[in-house]
Amino acid sequence: MNYLDYLYIVDRGIQGLGFVLIFFFVMIISAIIVRRRDKPFIREIPTYSKLKQSISLAVESGQRLHLSLGSGGINSMQGGSALAGLSLLKRLYRMTYLSDRPPVATSGEGTIGILSRDSIRSVYEEVGVMEEYEPTTGQVSGLTPEPYIAGTLLVILDQHVSTNILMGNYNSGIALLADAGERRGCLTVAGSDNITAQAVGYVFTEDLLVGEELFASGAYIQPSTMHVASLHTQDFFRWGIVAVILVAGALKLAGVM
């Protein structure tokens, strides 16, 4: 490796690490601002308002909530959406652990399956009702995308599900899950990090979480300071990206770039 190659690697590393550090500091500053405010400001996402209502209704009517975490694992880029789903899972359980039918979480990968069971168990431990914990409420319904869809269909169709939350990595197979939910008369909330799944989701449900909205559940359902702060940080960087694109476009038009 010559000197220039080494310089390129160091330069790339510093850029990447620099971005992560700036993101971190903006998040910390946002968290301080959010903590100082009595009521943090976040824009309304109608899907989350609807979901909150639906959770309350499900508890009152003894119906089950189903959270599908998709077939992505944590060892890839798709892990982010599954982690967002797991974060929502804990919140759902904190709100509904006393329900006659506790929520059921399905996943299409071993690690996410283990984490979902661990998350559910931790909520029961936290509220001191471990005897109510059912290990099968966090289940792996298939280990590759197609079997996962087939296995999850059975959960939606057979388990008195009233709200169907699809939050994770899917392919176009999300259509079958959303269609099954619709046939059962469920509220179906869908969000995916996959573009194909988002396009299919648009056709199937009015309650689609587009792009980064998928990662915002923690700021809307039982909000925590860090979740609200990370939402503000995402908005901050998005405006930054918009500005960079506009400036670059203008420079290109002017013939500078």
Residues 61-120 that bind other proteins (CB under 8 A): 73, 75, 77, 80-81, 83-84, 86-87, 90, 109-111, 113-115, 117-119
Residue selected from 198, 207, 221, 228 as contacting other proteins according to rule CB under 8 A: 198
Contact 67, 88 (CB under 8 A): yes
Q: Does 22 bind other proteins (CB under 8 A)?
A: no
Question: Taking phi first (over 0 means left), then psi (-120 to 50 degrees means alpha), and beta for anything else, what does residue 128 get?
Answer: left
Residue 193 contacts other proteins per CB under 8 A: yes
Q: Is 4 in the site for other proteins (CB under 8 A)?
A: no
Total site size for other proteins, rule CB under 8 A: 78
139 Cβ contact list (under 8 Å, min separation 6)? 104, 105, 106, 107, 113, 155
Please spell the DSSP secondary structure of 57-126, one letter per residue. Answer: HHHHHTPEEEEEEES--TTSTTHHHHHHHHHHHHHHHHHHTTSSS--EEEESSHHHHHHHHHHHHHHHHH
Question: Between 82 and 95, whose beta carbon lies closer to other proteins?
Answer: 82
| Residue 194 beta carbon to other proteins: minimum distance, rounded to whole angstroms | 9
Among 62, 100, 202, 250, binds other proteins (CB under 8 A): 202
Assess 16 for contact with other proteins (CB under 8 A): yes
The token duo for 34 is: 């959010």
Contact (Cβ atoms closer than 8 angstroms) between residue 217 and residue 87: yes
Instruction: List the one residue from 210, 243, 247, 248 that touches other proteins (CB under 8 A).
Output: 210
Q: Stretches 22-30, 41-49, 95-103, 248-256: which one binds other proteins (CB under 8 A)?
A: 22-30
In terms of C-beta density within 10 A (0-12 exposed, 13-18 middle, 19 or more buried), how is residue 27 classed? middle
The answer to the question of residue 223 lying near other proteins (CB under 8 A) is no
Residues 132-161 that bind other proteins (CB under 8 A): 135-136, 139-143, 146, 149-151, 154, 158
Q: Is 256 helix (H, G, I), strand (E, B) or coil?
A: coil
